[in-house]
Copies of this chain bind each other. A is one copy, B any other.
Amino acid sequence: MSKVNVPYKMYLTEAEIPKTWYNVRADMKTKQAPLLNPGTLEPMTAADLAPVFCDELIAQELDNDTPFIEIPTEIRDFYKMYRPSPLIHAEYLEKVLGTPAHIYYKFEGNNTSGSHKLNSAIAQAYYAKKQGLKGVTTETGAGQWGTALSMACAYFGLDCKVFMVKVSYEQKPFRREVMRTYGAEVTPSPSMTTDIGKKILLAHPGTTGSLGCAISEAVEVAVKNPGYRYVLGSVLNQVLLHQSVIGMETKAACEKFGIKPDMIIGCAGGGSNLGGLISPFMGEKLRGEADYDIVAVEPASCPSFTRGKYVYDFCDTGMVCPLAKMYTLGHDFIPSANHAGGLRFHGMSPVLSQLYHDGYMRAVAVEQTSVFEAATTFARCEGILPAPESSHAIRAAIDEAMKCKETGEEKTIIFGLTGTGYFDMVAYEKFNDGTMTDFIPTDEDLAQGFASIPKANGEYIV
């Protein structure tokens, strides 16, 4: 693609904030597999999900057909506080790399949660409020989702109970205070406040926690407290739907400013950012209207796509959630304490899993120190201090741009810069001090995780 003359930061107007979300499932020929009731192995119905989730969110979760779903005015009102987010032409990075590639990034960090998580948090809080609920419970890893949900709940006057993965709670005490400033109650997970927390602590006394544990605790509290429901920041279909606002804006900006991407890159933990960013592009690809090289980037320490199995597994360590068919490392897989807390999940969005399985996207795994090298390079030339999670995408984008330097190709690369790293300075400190190490699970480590994947008649469930 040839160079286009664009501003450094491309903003859409407030009137151009998308009026609908895009539901990529409507264009999938092979739909993602349904969630299963772990007892009966039957697909979960709306009635099954009702004790855990808000009604309207269940409808969105199960809707595989409607391509465009209207964004309520109340949510668009909130969106305009921090949206449209800019699509940025990384011209300073291009210069430093000396690459012929054209690099753009969609920056979702310009809000207090520091990430894209707010896009779904405000939607979920809105539907909870509309249903007349008292409050919501959730888990948070790096703290971005918890912060986002706290902000959303403060806006709508909802109570907010957050279970925060213990390793992040300890590494990021300031995150806890941001959530408290927005009125949330924050508990380190596993905790002694839930049955499942007690059980996990008994089995693994020294555990630093995982998203899977925290999910179990949050679900338990939601189910046991009248007027509460559980909300989740990733993995679910509804979350990818809400996050499609990222991709919709990105695509609108591409059209407005004449950018024709060849490649779209995003980091992948549970899949919310990646699924959101790629969705309208994936839609074109599914409909055969355009082709894009779509790349998921995951940590080598938690390689669901690149080394996981595509089978049914629990979304949570406590096995209180439904079974999802997804790329999984096993729900008992507890990744080494790497610093991209938001990517420490054993599974992956069922929608993205299906698309990956069907060859519509590919995945790469990158190591922690190389991620922080990329983050530092990026920070020094583009100004923004990226979150470790986002920096996985930076690493892959730089690698692709350097390939272009070798081949002379002028590829146009868009990557998702999901958030800022202001609360990740413990990790940056390790990198700055040269004491950061890489954690790559051995095949034996993986086998241990795989052993927790449920089976029926001795076989994985597929």
Please, what's the 1-or-0 string for A146-175, where 1 marks a CB less than 8 Å from any CB in chain B?
000001001100000000000000000110
Q: Name the interface size band of chain A.
A: 35 or more
The reply to whether the CB of A7 lies closer than 8 angstroms to some CB of chain B is yes
Find out whether the CB atom of B383 lies under 8 angstroms from the CB atom of A429.
Answer: no
Q: Which among B173, B182, B376 is the interface contact of A380 at CB below 8 angstroms?
A: B182
Please, what's the 1-or-0 string for A1-28, where 1 marks a CB less than 8 Å from any CB in chain B?
0000001110101100000000000000
Within 8 A of B (CB), among A118-157: 151, 154-155
Task: Tell me the nearest residue of chain B to A153, going by C-beta.
Answer: B380
Q: Which of A111, A177, A380 has the most CB of B within 10 A?
A: A177
Q: How many copies does the complex hold?
A: 2
Task: Provide the residues of chain B in CB contact with A155, threshold 8 Å.
Answer: 380-381, 383
A to B CB contacts below 8 Å, 23 in the list: A7-B14, A81-B92, A81-B382, A112-B379, A112-B383, A112-B385, A112-B420, A154-B380, A154-B381, A174-B174, A174-B423, A174-B425, A174-B426, A177-B432, A178-B422, A178-B425, A181-B376, A181-B428, A181-B432, A182-B379, A182-B380, A183-B380, A422-B423
The reply to whether the CB of A285 lies closer than 8 angstroms to some CB of chain B is no
The reply to whether the CB of A62 lies closer than 8 angstroms to some CB of chain B is no
Find out whether the CB atom of A8 lies under 8 angstroms from the CB atom of B81.
Answer: yes
Q: Report Cα–Cα, A255/B428, bound state, in Å.
A: 43
Q: Which among B181, B379, B420 is the interface contact of A181 at CB below 8 angstroms?
A: B379
Task: Provide the residues of chain B in CB contact with A380, threshold 8 Å.
Answer: 151, 154-155, 182-183
The reply to whether the CB of A31 lies closer than 8 angstroms to some CB of chain B is no
Find out whether the CB atom of A432 lies under 8 angstroms from the CB atom of B182.
Answer: no
